[in-house]
Amino acid sequence: MKKTILSFAAAAAVMSFGTMAAEAATKACFIYVGPIGDFGWSYQHHQGLEHMKKELGDKVETAYLESVPEGADAERAIERFARSGCNIIFTTSFGYMDPTNKVAGKFPDVKFEHATGYKREHPNVATYNSKFHEGRYIQGVIAAKMSKAGVAGYIASFPIPEVVMGINAFVLGAQSVNPDFKVKVVWANTWFDPGKEADAAKALIDQGVDIITQHTDSTAPMQVATERGIKAFGQASDMIKFGPTTQLTSIVDDWGPYYVERVKAVVDGTWKQQDVWGGMKEGHVVMAPFANMPDDVKKLAEETAAKIKSGEFNPFTGPIAKQDGSEWLKAGEVAENGVLLGLNFYVKGVDDKLPQ
Amino acid sequence: MRIELVKRPERSKLFAALSPLIALGLTLIAGAIMFSLLGKDPVEALYYYFIDPLREVWSLHELAVKAAPLILIAVGLSICYLSNNWNIGAEGQFVIGAITGSILPVMFPDFQSWIVLPLMLLMGIAGGAAYGAIPAYLKVRFNTNEILTSLMLVYVAQLFLDWMVRGPWRNPAGMNFPETRTFSPSAVLPEIWSASGRANWGFVFAIVAAIALWFMLSRTLKGFEVLVLGQSPRAGRFAGFSQSKMVFFAFLVSGGLAGLAGISEVSGAIGQLRPTISPGYGFAAIIVAFLGRLNPLGIIAAGLVLALSYLGGEAAQISIGVSDKVVRAFQGMLLFFVLACDTLILYRIRFVGASAAKTVEATQNV
């Protein structure tokens, strides 16, 4: 008798969990590599989630996991999502590439969207990324106009193509204004570590740079620049709150429109595998308001932004020389996407040796 | 009123058995209060934390995947800590074991045979042990503090791995991303029962190592030597045991096991070398070793409990939407209560009344 009651209770419990899942709308799930409070990369993906939730309302249900380490933990986290009834899973860091594809093979009915990777081993895996380097070029233009020292500091994370692309675009933008402009690079070897990033900023300022840009995600460099009274660029999100008199502009990753589009495609049943590399034109990369600069610099920055946005100008248009002086692109030649996505050399004017 | 801790004349067997249960009870109460304050249903939260990860077979596999390196490293560390050698560098030995174990699949990908995997495991053990021998040698030869040297060598190992995967070992077909080529099937540690989940043989190694070291500690002369030299080096010398040899023995065993954990993790769970291959297993294992009271069998249980708290934390994040920070705070509470309650084994609590307290103070002032 006791046993029957117990098993009945268990069955009821299972049923109640079961119906909870069955009634759900389309479920979109997100995995972040950092904390959503980093005010950089993961924060912006989470802003994208919030935007998508607002747009699609009760048609979707969402869930997220933050600070998921790349490695063996990622595969478990993704599989847990796939099993918990997610219809589409966004894995938002490069290191999730292989785990994403592995889990995708096991769950053919779930859609997977991997940010910044290149592997699509199953028809249910799509990849997406943004042309952040377009914003870097504009930053370079502003830096060369604003800097008195003629040299900027660059806090970089890891020497992967995306970061190298950013450094090169920044230098090219600066050289379009001042051909002798130099960039000093410090590799922080982290995406998010406020202490290390602050140290890097201090070291650069001590070496005489008077403008800082960063390809790491915390607001620490912005805060150091404010303390030392120099100018800086924000990263991934609008960091103006952390440097009201410091931030010139910031490259804002706006994932919202993409997330709306892709989740809606799942709701409508029109989702297809794709590889998207959107930039300013598609609205995936947005510049924060140009601030703390004279009107003529602002005007030049706006003109440059408009040219890139309309597609009239590509930052990687020749003539461009490699760091050693040899020719990379002839006059008028535009770099192919394939080369950019595997970029492992600097252009002329970078004061650093690329870690190989 | 005041609370005092009074040392017991001997270990309390009763509290040795009861303290984990008291700790669990306190964790549940404190956790329930925390979840209620956050506006979550405490029963549901605790259900997702402790029960949900155990309900499905695939999740049990994941538990084994997460626990295997923790147990493997922690049992090795128990030998160190029992013999009074403070190896804090298991994380570095883990990384070096992973690198030396990966030499064959990364540099000779065409060499595919049944012998590859055993060789990889042996090379992983050798690498970890050799790396553990460095602080041991420095301690014996120069009397350096092994806590500092072993810890510093962790950073050396991590940066060495970082350099290897960005430079010499970078995957030629990997678009310049920092990772090695993926291992060929003959270099992948097989799954135990692949139809139901991805737990690999690393978990079996962990259990075997724990049982072997338990046997050594409790049934052999070597185990006696470990305990004697740990508790009283002077008595050990009279017995004819060599302190220096023990330093090497402890570091070689724990380094070797950490190295085995490293290559098992890379070969079984990840499938390639990446800039970071461990979310801090070498440091978490220190907690596991003490949670298991430095007893290899206790460490198996402790490793599983800590692994469960990671998995449960994820389940709670997904299902009831608490943040990552809450999950970690809860994990911290669990560890805090477990270690705090172990105090009851050696001490008892005495409540001192107000008047009695005054007398005590008065006598102390005199």
Q: What is the pTM of this model?
A: 0.84
If one compares A82 and A337, the residue with the highest pLDDT of the two is A82
Sheet holding A151-156, edge to edge: A285-287, A247-253, A231-236, A211-214, A151-156, A182-187, A350-351
Specify burial of residue A222 (Cβ count, 10 A radius: 0-12, 13-18, 19+).
buried
User: Is B53 part of the contact surface with chain A (CB cutoff 8 Å)?
Assistant: no
Give the model's pLDDT for residue B355. Answer: 59
The half-sphere exposure of B348 on its side-chain side, counting CA atoms within 13 A, is 11
| Residues in Cβ contact with A255 at an 8 Å cutoff, skipping those fewer than 6 apart | A44, A45, A47, A48, A51, A284
Q: Which of A71, A159, A342 sits opposite B277 (nearest CB)?
A: A71
Distance from CA of B20 to the nearest CA of A (A): 27
Measure the CA–CA gap between B243 and B234, rounded to whole angstroms.
Answer: 9
What is the enclosing helix (H) or strand (E) of A5?
A: helix A2-23
A160 vs B176: CB contact, 8 Å cut-off?
yes
Measure the CA–CA gap between B205 and B70, rounded to whole angstroms.
Answer: 12
In 3D, which of B154, B151, B134, B164 has the Cα closest to residue B94? Answer: B154
Which CATH number is A25-130 given?
A: 3.40.50.2300
* CATH ID of A133-252+285-351, from 3.40.50.720, 3.40.50.300, 3.10.105.10, 3.40.50.2300: 3.40.50.2300
Give the model's pLDDT for residue B136. Answer: 97
Q: What is the pLDDT of residues B15-73, one digit of tens each?
A: 888 888 899 899 999 999 999 999 999 999 999 989 989 988 999 999 999 999 999 99
In a domain, B187, yes or no: yes
In a domain, B124, yes or no: yes
A79 vs B58: CB contact, 8 Å cut-off?
yes
What is the enclosing helix (H) or strand (E) of A234?
A: strand A231-236
Measure the CA–CA gap between B212 and B220, rounded to whole angstroms.
Answer: 11
In B, which residues are within 8 Å of A342 by CB distance? 175-176
Give the tokens for residue B283: 């440091």
Measure the CA–CA gap between B238 and B242, rounded to whole angstroms.
Answer: 10
Give the tokens for residue A22: 């069955």
- A32: closest chain B residue by CA: B324
Residue B200: domain span: 63-303
Q: What is the pLDDT of residues B214-242, one digit of tens each?
A: 999 999 999 999 999 999 999 999 989 99
Measure the CA–CA gap between B244 and B226, rounded to whole angstroms.
Answer: 12
Do A25-130 and A133-252+285-351 come out as alike in CATH topology?
yes
A160 vs B271: CB contact, 8 Å cut-off?
no
Which pLDDT band, with edges at 50, 70 and 90, does B361 fall under?
low
Q: What is the pLDDT of residues B264-296, one digit of tens each?
A: 999 999 999 998 899 999 999 999 999 899 999
Measure the CA–CA gap between A284 and B348, rounded to whole angstroms.
Answer: 63
In B, which residues are within 8 Å of A98 by CB distance? 182, 271-272
In B, which residues are within 8 Å of A79 by CB distance? 58, 62
Eight-class DSSP state of A317: B
What is the enclosing helix (H) or strand (E) of A126?
A: strand A125-130
| Residues in Cβ contact with B361 at an 8 Å cutoff, skipping those fewer than 6 apart | none
Crossing angle for the helix pair B202-219 and B243-264, nearest 10 degrees? 160
A69 vs B276: CB contact, 8 Å cut-off?
yes
What is the enclosing helix (H) or strand (E) of A44?
A: helix A41-56
Residue of B57, B63, B160, B324 to mutate when probing chain A, most A C-beta within 10 A: B324
Residue of B318, B322, B323 to mutate when probing chain A, most A C-beta within 10 A: B318
Give the residues across from A228 on adjacent strands. Answer: none
Q: What is the pLDDT of residues B314-325, one digit of tens each?
A: 888 888 888 888
Measure the CA–CA gap between B189 and B195, rounded to whole angstroms.
Answer: 15
Measure the CA–CA gap between B202 and B241, rounded to whole angstroms.
Answer: 34
In a domain, B320, yes or no: no
- B274: closest chain A residue by CA: A71
B276 vs A189: CB contact, 8 Å cut-off?
no
In 3D, which of A355, A351, A279, A275 has the Cα closest to residue A315? Answer: A279
Amino acid sitting at position A313: F
Residue length, chain A? 356
Q: What is the 3-state secondary structure (H, E, C) of chain B?
A: CEEEEEECCCCCHHHHHHHHHHHHHHHHHHHHHHHHHCCCCHHHHHHHHHHHHHCCHHHHHHHHHHHHHHHHHHHHHHHHHHCCCCCCCHHHHHHHHHHHHCHHHHHCCCCCCCCHHHHHHHHHHHHHHHHHHHHHHHHHHHCCCHHHHHHHHHHHHHHHHHHHHHCCCCCCCCCCCCCCCCCCHHHCCCECCCCCCCCECHHHHHHHHHHHHHHHHHHCHHHHHHHHHHHCHHHHHHCCCCHHHHHHHHHHHHHHHHHHHHHHHHHHHHCCCCCCCCCCHHHHHHHHHHHCCCCHHHHHHHHHHHHHHHHHHHHHHHHHCCCHHHHHHHHHHHHHHHHHHCHHHHEEEEEECHHHHHHHHHHHHC
In a domain, B324, yes or no: no
Q: What is the pLDDT of residues B160-202, one digit of tens each?
A: 999 999 889 988 877 777 889 999 999 999 999 888 888 999 9
Number of domain units in chain B? 1
Distance from CA of B188 to the nearest CA of A (A): 14
Which pLDDT band, with edges at 50, 70 and 90, does B298 fall under?
very high
Domain ranges of chain A: 25-130, 133-252+285-351
Q: Is A218 helix (H, G, I), strand (E, B) or coil?
A: coil
Distance from CA of A244 to the nearest CA of B (A): 29
ipTM confidence score: 0.83
Give the model's pLDDT for residue A341. Answer: 85
B279 vs A69: CB contact, 8 Å cut-off?
yes
